[in-house]
Amino acid sequence: MTKTQTTPATAADPTAAAAAAQFLTPVVIGLQAIAVNGKQAHWNVRGANFIAIHELLDSIVDHAQAGADQAAERIVALGLPIDARLATVAQKAAPTAVPAGFTQWDDMVRDVIADMDAVIIDVKAAIDGLDEFDLTSQDVAIGIMESLEKDRWFLFAHVAS
């Protein structure tokens, strides 16, 4: 009979794993919130720029989900669990600026940007905090930052004067 291993084949440094979980968990939670709230915005945006914003929000949701998955998988790869269940996201995510109902496109864009800005703060903290513990986890955070900042730029271009 063969033994089934329940932990990663290579033992992660417990300090690095704890740091990854500490700094990447808020990123996962925030990105999951962007995914949910981005869909809310996608369904309820109104106005002259509807189709452009509607389609851009789908892309932003996809990127948020991919970033959350990458950060969560990094934590799990280091041997720790992640809790990003809907109840956990609702409890721990920053309050959303995205409203529940129909909203004109320019207000909706500003609201989504505000939600993204809250997550960017957590990503910056992860980049800074992981520098001395785990460069691979820091690289994950840097990649997420690149994607978030690009999506924010695309949205911001709609309301910039």
Does this model's pTM top 0.85? My answer is yes
Q: Can you give the pLDDT at residue 94?
A: 87
Q: Which of 61, 67, 71 shows the shortest CA–CA distance to 37?
A: 61
| CB 70 within 8 Å of CB 144 | yes
CA trace torsion 72, 77, 81, 85 (10° rounding): 30
Using the predicted structure, report yes or no on whether residue 122 has a pLDDT greater than 50.
yes
Domains and CATH numbers, the chain: 14-92+99-159 (1.20.1260.10)
Q: Which of 22, 20, 62, 16 shows the shortest CA–CA distance to 38?
A: 62
Place 12 in a pLDDT band, splitting at 50, 70 and 90.
confident
- 118, with CB counted inside 10 A (0-12, 13-18, 19+), is middle
Q: Which helix (H) or strand (E) holds 45?
A: strand 45-46
β-pairing verdict for 103-104 and 45-46: parallel
Percent of the chain with pLDDT over 90: 88
Using the predicted structure, report yes or no on whether residue 3 has a pLDDT greater than 70.
no
